[in-house]
Chain A
């Protein structure tokens, strides 16, 4: 049996009515060893902030395991400046089926008014140069400048990852 899949629709401008969780951006509690702020801005093709986007993250724990409960998931709506952030820890590397290893990463979904389907991307870590060089997904992106856009940048105490929906510095989005 194969049932027809339900189509996607835009999240629209008013999702804050239903989808805001006060603890959404806290993947780990404050004070967790290794906790780091990962965030940035969501920008449109004119470089203007997208003030009505919802960013969700999903990841393994530092040992490379996935939680059986709600752990590992983050959700943050952008503010008037297009800013989002979650507090999390760096996940462990993951085995790939072909014997390779995936570098530590977060899977990211971006929803917004004007997006009829979510956009998916990944965030890699800047202090993992060796693992990133061996990561199968990163390796599949041939242009090094484009590949580099999937790696967050050190920014004070945290990591910065801007999501550019369109334009010269467009974030590489992934077909899932």
Chain B
């Protein structure tokens, strides 16, 4: 995991203290259960699930944005037909969750959850509002930079990924232990970029962010799948 992923033990993020294993991990060879995975999506994605601004009677408050990208394998191949799930705070930095005690307003027109399935080129696209930064209790005066949570399956159990997408140039990056937990050379991979091709003129600013999943070893089982 060195180089790309955060360590499980990261003292600056206090919740890791009692939740990271102390025993070394046992290597798991990639056998059939690891090189396969669920093909989710059908029946799980509704008409407005990709548009977080269209799930209620009116539009949510905040800066409307489009976020678009692809799910790719490390060799550059797109991952088509895979479920992408997102969730986020509203423009005021408040989640629609009982556990969120931040005294910022809920927005009756914003749930903050989205789903879509990638197309044949591995592309996904969400319309939403830019989430606000919000305080948390990790340390004195702690604030999370604005982010959207992403959950992606890919093609194999080995590729399952849950992560967070950030916005370019956020001044809170330097003070956020969750962002800083990622090795320095890999952090920028979590930051989307402004893209005028994603932007819809006179309607919404667009951000682009590609998700690259761990590589997977080819197996006879997968070759059979490819032949279908």
Q: In this assembly, does A30 line the interface, its C-beta being within 8 Å of a C-beta of chain B?
A: no
A41 to chain B, nearest CB (A): 14
Asked if B182 and A18 make an inter-chain contact with CB atoms under 8 angstroms apart, the answer reads: no
**CB nearest to A95 among chain B residues:** B32
Complex-state Cα separation, A44 to B26, whole angstroms? 20
Q: Please provide the chain A residues from 1 to 30 with a CB less than 8 Å away from any CB of chain B in the complex.
A: 1-19, 21
B48 to chain A, nearest CB (A): 14
Known: A44-B19, A58-B33, A58-B157. A174 touches B25 (CB 8 A): yes
Asked if B25 and A173 make an inter-chain contact with CB atoms under 8 angstroms apart, the answer reads: yes
Q: In this assembly, does B56 line the interface, its C-beta being within 8 Å of a C-beta of chain A?
A: no
Chain A residues with Cβ below 8 Å from B31 are 94, 96-97, 102
Asked if A107 and B34 make an inter-chain contact with CB atoms under 8 angstroms apart, the answer reads: yes
Complex-state Cα separation, A144 to B212, whole angstroms? 38
Number of A-B contacts (CB under 8 A): 229
Asked if B17 and A45 make an inter-chain contact with CB atoms under 8 angstroms apart, the answer reads: yes
Chain B residues with Cβ below 8 Å from A9 are 6, 149, 162-164, 178, 181-182, 190
**CB nearest to A51 among chain B residues:** B99
Which of A4, A67, A140 is close to B4, meaning CB atoms less than 8 Å apart?
A4
Chain A residues with Cβ below 8 Å from B89 are 14
Q: Please provide the chain B residues from 1 to 57 with a CB less than 8 Å away from any CB of chain A in the complex.
A: 1, 4-8, 10, 13, 15-23, 25-34, 36-44
Q: Please provide the chain B residues from 89 to 139 with a CB less than 8 Å away from any CB of chain A in the complex.
A: 89, 95-97, 99-100, 111-115
Complex-state Cα separation, A111 to B6, whole angstroms? 14
Known: A6-B189, A174-B27. A56 touches B160 (CB 8 A): yes
Q: In this assembly, does B142 line the interface, its C-beta being within 8 Å of a C-beta of chain A?
A: no
Q: Mark A30-62, 1 if CB is under 8 A from B, else 0.
A: 000000000000001110101010001011100
Chain B residues with Cβ below 8 Å from A140 are 26-27
Complex-state Cα separation, A79 to B10, whole angstroms? 26
B87 to chain A, nearest CB (A): 3
Q: In this assembly, does B86 line the interface, its C-beta being within 8 Å of a C-beta of chain A?
A: yes
Complex-state Cα separation, A170 to B23, whole angstroms? 8
Q: In this assembly, does B161 line the interface, its C-beta being within 8 Å of a C-beta of chain A?
A: yes
Chain B residues with Cβ below 8 Å from A19 are 85, 87, 151
Complex-state Cα separation, A70 to B117, whole angstroms? 13
Asked if A17 and B76 make an inter-chain contact with CB atoms under 8 angstroms apart, the answer reads: no
Specify which of B20, B30, B40, B96 lies most central, judged by the most chain A CB atoms within 10 Å of its CB. B20
Complex-state Cα separation, A140 to B149, whole angstroms? 36
Chain A residues with Cβ below 8 Å from B16 are 114-116
Q: In this assembly, does B205 line the interface, its C-beta being within 8 Å of a C-beta of chain A?
A: no
- List 17 contacting pairs A-B, 8 Å CB cutoff, sorted by A: A5-B186, A6-B189, A7-B163, A7-B190, A12-B164, A14-B100, A17-B95, A18-B85, A66-B32, A117-B6, A118-B162, A119-B21, A137-B29, A140-B27, A166-B21, A170-B23, A174-B26
